Chain A
Amino acid sequence: MKRILLALGLIASFLFSFACERKGGPGAGGSTGPIVIGYYGDLTGRTSNFGQSTKAGVEMAADEINKAGGINGRPITILSEDDEGRPEKAATVVTKLIDQDRVIALLGEVASGNTLAAAPKAQAAHVPMISPSSTNPAVTQVGDYISRVCFIDPFQGAVMAKFAANTLKAKKAAIMLDFNSPYSRGLTEFFEASFTKLGGVIVDKQSYTQGDRDYKGQLTAIRSKNPDVIYVPGYYGEVGVIAKQAKQLDIKAPMLGGDGWDSTQLWDLGGDSLNGDFISNHYSVDDPSPAIQKFVTAYKARNGNVPDALAALGYDAMQVLADAIKRAGTTEGPQLKDAIAATKDFVGVTGTISLDKDRNAVKPAVVLKLQDKKYIYQETIYPEGMSAPAAPATTSASPAAAPASSPAKAGATSSPAKAAADTTKTEKPAPSPK
């Protein structure tokens, strides 16, 4: 008995000394030395394309900042953790980044479900977190330490509903959603509301779960309702297969999706079956605006592939964070989160970023058409109350903002020259960052 007590005592004292040691870990809020920032994402799981792209974007931004002398003279160090795309793992690695590595801020995740699992940890520890691309509204509702640099699903869902109803003139839509994903459920809800408001009818709603292997049952049910369009707000892994099986069933209606489709693997899975489908996204690589082209060229040189929207958002998230640290003049959580929330008119790759009172970025979305492994720009849709910037003053490429002029997009095949009936939708290239 005595021996056991002694052993327990030893273990306890060992653990205690270990715990004390952690306090002085790498990023421990000092004002000199490197600034340690945590990144977490899916690097090996079902949505690993998301995590890898975002990580590349974040690291590229950090390198550029370091090359320019760091933030207030201090270099940035990025610590990356893999959450395998699982919510419970996301919470664990974020806890580790906060408690053990003492990061001053967090960047991540892409999938809303994973961000929602990790955000309460950051909120409780008063460590600011910026999500590059989680679009579910609930993410920033977790608390005032959580913000994001992308638009949210009520807007993204409405964008596709508008595009379907106004541009494609669709009357009947069917929805195929990922039942367990907050992202997919959120988009479904908002698409349905907007599409119905615009006079459309939802003729069928089917669901699947991540990792399903056969979707023909649902697709056959949808086919029997004969919809004009099928809205599939899912992630690329499933969507690619759904597109393929839809084509096998001879379904001709185009599929519509969100930013979750954007990945190179989408094409490996879906191939030609994806031709003629449309997605809403954060930016278009074909956009001639200098800020985007500079980023695309630098990213290609660094990583050897074309950056998807997630890479661009990862890059922007890191830049917004660096800007906030600069303005706050400190890495203390409370001041830093206020500085992040005060971000206004920050010129990023994915547009001009201003955070609203709920710490969501207010940005336009682009609609892209999928054709032969390319995303072809269709139109830009602005949020309510934000009109297109009047006649951009850039010298190059952008023609006058007249709605009738066809978009000056490389490879824009169709010119859907619909007169902009409402102020929130304009035929024009993505806003130039002015």
Chain B
Amino acid sequence: MDTFVQQLINGLTIGAIYALIALGYTMVYGILRLINFAHGDIYMVGAFVGYFLAFELGFATGPSLLGLSVVLVGSMIAAALVGMAIERFAYRPIRKYARMTTLITAIGVSLLIENLFVAKLGAAPRAFPQLLSEKSYTLFGNAAISKSQILIFAVSIALMLLLQWVIFKTKVGTAMRAVSFNLNSAKLMGINTDFIISFTFALGSALAAAAGVLTAQYNPQIDPLMGIITGLKAFVAAVLGGIGNIPGAVLGGLLIGIAETFVVGYGQNVGVPTTFRDAVAFAILILVLLFRPTGLLGSAVQEKV
């Protein structure tokens, strides 16, 4: 039983990371109908900004809550700027062309960021400094939860609540919802759509950067290509939950995380090798597209943002 609880905790941890990234995919899709394939790389950029901030500001020497908060917020801001820049210079000039053009551009931007980092920093993984002291608490007998896992849960829940508040209680959020319903009508109502789109990219990128710094506390190995597979899985999570749907992205992320962990934890008992963990996410994607293309929470009256 405690093994089951432990696997559930493990799965929810990586699920929360996927969920944070999936939110960015889903928000951008909701507004522009664009799959922003560079989003996984923003997650990587966030982790690297955190890495350099920690070293530059002298927080790399030992665990400190102040260092962690500064690094977390700093990398979120930096990633938000990067996200806005990508939108401004790569997507906005071609927004009026066919959607396929933007999609290909997104793939190009993704490759550009990855290879720029490889060229500048090398492909060798780096060790992210430990900003949180290592400690585990036991619950339900033998199930252990570490401080870094608690941090992941706490920060991701806080950020999701904050996002919910921004979208439903603020003026910008209302404008975002309006743009997602119909961009041109929103424009006619006097909404500065360019600003709203920019803001959406900033919001999504900040969440991805938070995911990057949080994972780095859990697994200190960061490299320029870390965003590829994680980004793709988060994309699958967004589709699973119903792309464009915010609670769906969270649900999808958690489900993918749990599915993956259970394949690793229990797959061997039923003859599924642990190396199938990555295949599972994509098998789920195919099944969703076959049987429920709108995703779990997507429906005719879906609320898009």
Stretch at the interface among A9-17, A155-163, A265-273: A265-273
Q: Are A249 and B144 neighbours in the complex by a CB distance under 8 Å?
A: yes
Question: Is B124 touching A46 in the complex (CB atoms < 8 A)?
Answer: yes
Q: Does chain A have a CB within 8 A of B104?
A: no
CA distance A387 to B80 in the complex (A): 64
Q: Chain B, interface size: which category?
A: 35 or more
Closest Cβ of chain A: how far from B223's Cβ, in Å? 8
Q: Which listed segment binds A: B95-103, B164-172, B187-195, B214-222?
A: B214-222
Docked CA distance A241–B261 (Å): 17
| Per-residue interface assignment for chain B, residues 238 to 266, with 1 indicating a CB less than 8 Å from any chain A CB and 0 otherwise | 00000000000000000000001111111
Is A220 on the interface with B (CB-CB < 8 A)?
A: yes
Whether B275 and A213, one on each chain, are in contact in the complex, defined by CB atoms closer than 8 angstroms, is no
**Nearest chain A CB to B282 CB, angstrom units:** 15
Known contacts A207-B274, A240-B127, A268-B127; decide if A248 and B134 are in contact (CB<8 Å): yes
B10 x A213 contact (CB < 8 A): no
Flag whether B130 is at the interface (Cβ < 8 A). Answer: yes
The contact of B144 among A206, A209, A250, by CB within 8 Å, is: A250
Q: Is B3 an interface residue (CB 8 A)?
A: yes
CA A139 – CA B32 in complex, angstroms? 54
The residues of A that contact B294 with a CB separation of less than 8 Å are none
Q: Which residues of B contact A245 (CB under 8 A)?
A: 218-219
Asked if A216 lies at the interface with its beta carbon under 8 angstroms from chain B, I say: yes
Least distance between B266 CB and chain A CB atoms (Å): 8
| Chain A window 214-235, contacts with chain B (Cβ cutoff 8 Å), 1 for yes, 0 for no | 1011101101100000000000
- Bound-state CA distance A179–B262 (Å) is 18
Chain A at the B interface: SS class: helix
Asked if residues A213 and B274 are in contact (CB atoms below 8 Å), the reply is no
Taken together as a complex, chains A and B put the C-alpha atoms of A244 and B130 apart, in Å, by 11
Chain A residues with CB under 8 Å of B198's CB are none
C-alpha gap A70/B204 in the complex (Å): 61
CB contacts under 8 Å to B, within A393-430, are none
Q: Are B130 and A271 in contact (CB under 8 A)?
A: yes
A241: chain B residues within 8 A (beta carbon): 219-221
- Chain A nearest CB, measured from B146 CB (Å): 4
Contact A46 B6 (CB under 8 A): no
A218-B264 in contact (CB<8A):
yes
Kindly state whether residue B161 has any CB partner on chain A within 8 Å.
Answer: no
Given contacts A216-B261, A244-B220, A273-B134, contact A44 B3 (CB under 8 A): no
Q: Given contacts A218-B264, A240-B220, A241-B220, list 18 more A-B pairs with CB under 8 A.
A: A44-B124, A46-B123, A46-B223, A48-B122, A207-B273, A207-B275, A214-B260, A217-B261, A217-B264, A220-B10, A241-B219, A247-B134, A248-B136, A249-B144, A249-B146, A250-B136, A250-B142, A271-B130
Interface residues in chain B, defined as those with a beta carbon under 8 Å from any beta carbon in chain A: 3, 6-7, 10-11, 13-14, 122-125, 127, 130, 134, 136, 138, 142, 144, 146, 148-149, 215, 218-221, 223, 226, 229-230, 260-266, 268, 273-275, 277
